[in-house]
Structure 1
Amino acid sequence: MASMLRSPLPLSHHASTSVSSFPTAPHILGNLPALHRRSCDFKNQVVCQSSSGEVTFIQPPKSKDDLDASLKIKLLSAVSGLNRGLAASEDDLRKADEAAKELEAAAGPVDLCAENDKLQGRWKLIYSSAFSTRTLGGSRPGPPTGRLLPITLGQVFQRIDVFSKDFDNIVELELGAPWPLPPVELTATLAHKFELIGSSGIKITFDKTTVKATGNLSQLPALDVPRIPDALRPQSNTGSGEFEVTYLDSDTRITRGDRGELRVFVIA
């Protein structure tokens, strides 16, 4: 019996090559008795199963957190370099949508009633599928960027206060000016109030727009833009909107809007 325990157990040629990721595994496994099928876990790196004359290695399954993190990286990689969607092609739109759906499915439904504190803060928009139309209005026509009007879109943020129910869309713009005047830099804040709809829906109601010059003209006071009377407002622009939060954690948020728009935000 003693001689049997001292004799190394020969590894079958069927053993997985993943043993190379755990350098000490061959030495340890060589002293395992082959009388019964057994399993062991070395620092959660490999799981080995041994039976008479054969050892196989199985990579342990990823935890849900690991899976979510991996899928989140995949989504962020898919939307990076697309200038928030302004440079997205049809193939880019498809890849971003597929990556978002994978993450949404893995994470499961969002419950804002239990997690509304995660909405709190200033969020930076890193991707919008609607921007591929090259207008500021997305699928609803808006001012063109870089075409008829010399408008350059800067960063876009959402500022959410779950206590006061304030929901502000903040857009940085640069307006071209005749030479030799420098471009005019502006920040437009579209103030809304919001309410929860069901477990994951949000409805926003427009309040007012405030424009503030930045850069060389930052000393100028902010200006509230007069609101168009409801009777004169187009039916397609009622001042309200609804969207669903389909993924939410401490630093990333995915929404799908009533325009069929996919948006990805990260905490700013």
Structure 2
Amino acid sequence: MPSLVLLPQSPIFISYRLTSSCSSVRNFIPCNAKPVLQSSPWPHSPSRRNRTLVLNSAVDRVPVADPPPPPPPPPRNGGPPGDLIASLKLNLLSAVSGLNRGLAASEDDLRKADAAAKELEGIGGLVDLTVDLDKLQGRWKLIYSSAFSSRTLGGSRPGPPTGRLLPITLGQVFQRIDILSKDFDNIVELQLGVPWPLPPIEVTATLAHKFELVGSSKIKIIFEKTTVKAAGNLSQLPPLEIPRIPDQFRPPSNTGIGEFEVTYLDSNTRLTRGDRGELRVFVIS
């Protein structure tokens, strides 16, 4: 039986040369290998106290296969596959298309849009804005609001009517969110009718808010001010800040504070449910 001699301050390399014998030690050494002692050529620190045995294979070495690469990580929170999400999003967009952001929605349209939204909300799971707050960042375009079916720009709250009584044409509606400054601006493009033959006046109204999180998926917004900026031929005019209505003259339903829940959120689509039940669908712009 071979014996090992430990050389101080130098690890020993043991190599195995194949012989004709077929004995092994607990299956760790090839059955036809003999140990050969080799001193290490590497310098070592004088402070090294432990002597080390290092296994060094000889020319006739036993190959060792590399471990297989780890499998790709599953979707976070065990989420659904992307193709299913894409299909449900397409179904929702098809349900709200052609409804003029909800202004032309019938009762049947409202039911179809709500059912399609609930399917996407159900498969997407609960939203946690304490983790995914950065996904709110950006400029979001409103493509549908169930509240607009009331034919007022205020949705389920009092707002200017659209139609013959007050010739206001609703253009694009956006939400601009800055998660660092906590700014939450509703931006509405409007056309104001004027007597013929003058062209309509195009304006952009910005309703500035601050926002804060309430729980994991609910957002509270606090109104600050409204600014109106003329567009088109009158775009050179300076913006006009509309004075805020004093609290004593403001209707009870208009407190300047609102809440809504984010029920679905990814990098390009957002669904919210308002504190009065309205469904809103946004896409990143």
* TM-score bucket of the superposed structures, by smaller chain: 0.7 to 0.9
Partner residue in 2 for 1:136: 153
Render the CA deviation track for 1:17-56: whole Å, top value 9, x for unaligned: xxxxxxxxxxxxxxxxxxxxxxxxxxxxxxxxxxxxxxxx
1:196 aligns to 2:232 (yes or no) = no
Partner residue in 2 for 1:113: 130
Partner residue in 2 for 1:17: none
- Aligned equivalents of 2:155, 2:80: Cα separation in 1: 38
Partner residue in 1 for 2:81: 64
Query: What stretches of structure 2 of length at least 5 have no aligned partner?
Result: 1-78
How much does 1:234 deviate?
Answer: 1.2
- Matched residues, percent identical? 82
Instruction: Give, as a single letter, the amino acid of the residue that structure 1 aligns with 2:98.
Output: G
How many residue pairs get aligned? The number is 207
Partner residue in 2 for 1:184: 201
How much does 1:180 deviate?
Answer: 1.1
Partner residue in 1 for 2:275: 258
Equivalent residue runs for 1:112-261 within 5 Å: 112-261=129-278
How much does 1:264 deviate?
Answer: 0.0
Query: What stretches of structure 1 of length at least 5 have no aligned partner?
Result: 1-61
Label 1:195 to 1:63 Cα distance change in 2 as closer, same or farther (>3 A). Answer: closer
Render the CA deviation track for 1:236-266: whole Å, top value 9, x for unaligned: 0000100000000000000000121000000
Render the CA deviation track for 1:56-108: whole Å, top value 9, x for unaligned: xxxxxx95222111111110111011110011110000000000000000010
Higher helix share: 1
Equivalent residue runs for 1:38-49 within 5 Å: none
Equivalent residue runs for 1:23-34 within 5 Å: none
Instruction: Give, as a single letter, the amino acid of the residue that structure 1 aligns with 2:119.
Output: E
2:80–2:124 contact (8 Å) kept in structure 1: no
How much does 1:158 deviate?
Answer: 0.2
- Aligned equivalents of 2:210, 2:192: Cα separation in 1: 28
2:175–2:184 contact (8 Å) kept in structure 1: yes
- Aligned equivalents of 1:164, 1:225: Cα separation in 2: 22
Of structures 1 and 2, the larger Rg is shown by 2
- Aligned equivalents of 2:205, 2:172: Cα separation in 1: 11
Render the CA deviation track for 1:164-196: whole Å, top value 9, x for unaligned: 000000000000011111110000000000000
- Aligned equivalents of 2:258, 2:190: Cα separation in 1: 22
Partner residue in 2 for 1:73: 90
Render the CA deviation track for 1:185-227: whole Å, top value 9, x for unaligned: 0000000000000000000000000000000100100000001
- Aligned equivalents of 1:160, 1:67: Cα separation in 2: 28
TM-score, length basis structure 2: 0.71
Instruction: Give, as a single letter, the amino acid of the residue that structure 1 aligns with 2:173.
Output: V
1:89 aligns to 2:144 (yes or no) = no
> Counterpart of 2:122 in 1: which secondary structure?
helix
Name the Cα RMSD after superposition.
1.1
2:80–2:123 contact (8 Å) kept in structure 1: no
1:103 aligns to 2:120 (yes or no) = yes
> Counterpart of 1:92 in 2: which secondary structure?
helix
Render the CA deviation track for 1:123-170: whole Å, top value 9, x for unaligned: 000000010111101112311112300100000000000000000000
- Aligned equivalents of 1:81, 1:183: Cα separation in 2: 24
Which stretch shifts more, 237-246 or 65-74?
65-74
Instruction: Give, as a single letter, the amino acid of the residue that structure 1 aligns with 2:143.
Output: I
TM-score, length basis structure 1: 0.76
**TM superposition outliers: structure 1 runs of 4+ over 4 Å:** none
Instruction: Give, as a single letter, the amino acid of the residue that structure 2 aligns with 1:76.
Output: L
Partner residue in 2 for 1:50: none
> Counterpart of 1:211 in 2: which secondary structure?
strand
Partner residue in 2 for 1:37: none
> Counterpart of 2:113 in 1: which secondary structure?
helix
